């Protein structure tokens, strides 16, 4: 239990990894304490075929991690904040899954301190909020998620998390490729970001 997912989990087609990440636990161990949450919202970014992906125009110092092996963390900054991604597929195939929201399960007080916010629903609802709640910044870029320390992802013990009902929508905030349905959320979860009509009521 709470063993890190193996590299083989990440070394698969990005959309498949994205869907399978829903319901998994994102774990963070720090000197200040432990934080954990259930992943409820992700987006897939498809590299060379995907104008919305950072890697679309080739490798740069910023996106280099996306080109590396699967199972590592890609952290970038935007609008003076941070967002975290999980790198998928083989080395040289720059695909990744953006972690957009988590349902807090453990270490809620620590998240509240880091976010300077009481409301549990908003602690990790949105990619930059999630990073703040987990204290992840650009220094974590390249982190290996299969190590089982610091930051990793594990299967949940709770059977209810095993095969969640998935709702699909266009990605949020992207200025190109509006049409692709590459955002995945756990249907009906109050912890997902975006407008209500994209929260995933129906299937």
Partner DNA sequence: CTACCGATTGACT
Partner DNA sequence: GTCAATCGGTAGA
Task: Give, as ranges, the residues between 106 and 165 that touch DNA (CB under 7 A).
Answer: 115, 117, 122, 126-130, 138
Counting residues that bind DNA (by CB under 7 A) gives 39
Please identify, using beta-carbon distances, which residue of 110 and 130 lies nearer to DNA: 130
| Nearest CA among 137, 169, 160, 5 for reference residue 71 | 5
* Residue showing tokens 């809620």: 108
Pick one of 9, 10, 45, 152: the residue that binds DNA (CB under 7 A): 45
Q: Residues with Cβ < 8 Å from 46, sequence gap 6 or more? A: 14, 15, 53, 95, 182
Residue span 61-80 as binding mask against DNA, x where in contact by CB under 7 A, dash where not:
xxx--x-------x-xxxxx
Residue 201 token pair: 């009521």
Residue 31 token pair: 């000197």
Residue 41 in contact with DNA, rule: CB under 7 A = no
Residue 193 in contact with DNA, rule: CB under 7 A = yes
Residue 18 in contact with DNA, rule: CB under 7 A = no
Q: Cα separation of 28 and 185, whole Å? A: 21
Please identify, using beta-carbon distances, which residue of 53 and 186 lies nearer to DNA: 53
Q: How many residues does the chain have?
A: 203
Residue 78 token pair: 């935007």
Pick one of 14, 36, 98, 102: the residue that binds DNA (CB under 7 A): 98
Residue 141 token pair: 């870029």
Q: Which positions touch DNA (CB under 7 A)?
A: 43, 45, 52-55, 57, 60-63, 66, 74, 76-81, 83, 85, 96, 98, 115, 117, 122, 126-130, 138, 171-175, 193, 195
């Amino acid at each position: 239990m709470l063993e890190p997912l193996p590299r083989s989990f990440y070394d698969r087609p990005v959309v498949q990894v994205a869907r399978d990440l829903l319901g998994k636990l994102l774990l963070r161990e720090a000197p200040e304490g432990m934080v954990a949450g259930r992943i409820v919202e992700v987006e897939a970014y498809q590299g060379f075929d995907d104008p919305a992906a950072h890697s679309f125009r080739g490798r740069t110092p910023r996106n280099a991690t996306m080109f590396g092996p699967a199972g590592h963390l890609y952290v970038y900054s935007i609008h003076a904040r941070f967002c975290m991604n999980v790198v998928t597929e083989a080395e040289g195939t720059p695909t990744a899954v953006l972690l957009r929201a988590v349902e807090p399960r453990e270490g809620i007080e620590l998240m509240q301190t880091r976010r300077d916010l009481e409301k549990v629903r908003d602690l990790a609802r949105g990619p930059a909020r999630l990073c703040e709640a987990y204290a992840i910044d650009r220094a974590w870029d390249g982190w290996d998620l299969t190590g089982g320390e610091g930051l990793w992802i594990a299967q949940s013990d709770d059977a209810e998390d095993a095969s969640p009902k998935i709702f699909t929508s266009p990605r949020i905030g992207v200025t190109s490729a509006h049409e692709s349905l590459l955002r995945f959320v756990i249907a009906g979860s109050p912890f997902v970001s975006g407008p209500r009509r994209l929260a995933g009521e129906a299937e």
